[in-house]
Amino acid sequence: MKTVEKLLIKNLQRYVEHIGGPGIWNDIWSEYGKEDVEAPEDMIKLLRLSASTLNREYQFFLFTFGKWFITIGEPIMFKQYTSNYHKFCKFMESEEAINFITDNVPWHENTIEIRKNSDTHFTVYYRSKLRLFSLIKGMYAGIAELMGVSVLVRHRAKGAELTLIDIIVG
């Protein structure tokens, strides 16, 4: 089980209730015919199913969780970078920026590519059936925050499975 997946299962109930109220998961659970969900496998299954939704509260939860995972869960990993935007841009240009997501994001039957549009603008091309773009946005926002960099992170859907995530440093 991947790191994010373990943390997600461990903290899922608490974060969802904090951000969207207990009603969010009750709605999702009843929609898929589950009333009591306790086993981690059930949580994973439901998270996969619910990741196909564009529900605003759910996407906000994913973004917040992604950011939390980076800033609370993985700060040591980014200590090698000094806090300035040049280093963040170097990180975004490196293979590490892609590997970090593919190593940590659960269920990545997807492809990720990062293109540099300018010195301070990167586009992440994310292709997947799951709508985990908010989680990925949150993770990159968390990395930037750790490095002391301010970024604008936004997504644009390009068809059913392709999402572009723009990361603008500044």
User: Is the pTM above the cut of 0.85?
Assistant: no
pLDDT in tens, 83-109: 467 778 888 888 888 887 777 765 556
Q: Which residue has the higher pLDDT, 70 or 87?
A: 87
Q: Residue 27's pLDDT is what? A: 54
Q: State the Cα–Cα distance between residues 143 and 70, nearest whole angstrom.
A: 6
Q: Residue 1's pLDDT is what? A: 47
Q: Residues of CATH 3.90.1520.10 domain(s) within the chain?
A: 72-169
Residues for the chain: how many in total? Answer: 170
CATH class entry, domain 72-169: alpha beta
Q: Residue 78's pLDDT is what? A: 52
DSSP state of 170: -
Instruction: Residue 81: count other Cβ atoms within 10 Å of its Cβ.
Output: 17
- Which residue, among 47, 6, 4, 3, has the nearest Cα to 25 in the 3D structure? 47
Most confident among 33-37, 45-49, 55-59 (mean pLDDT)? 55-59
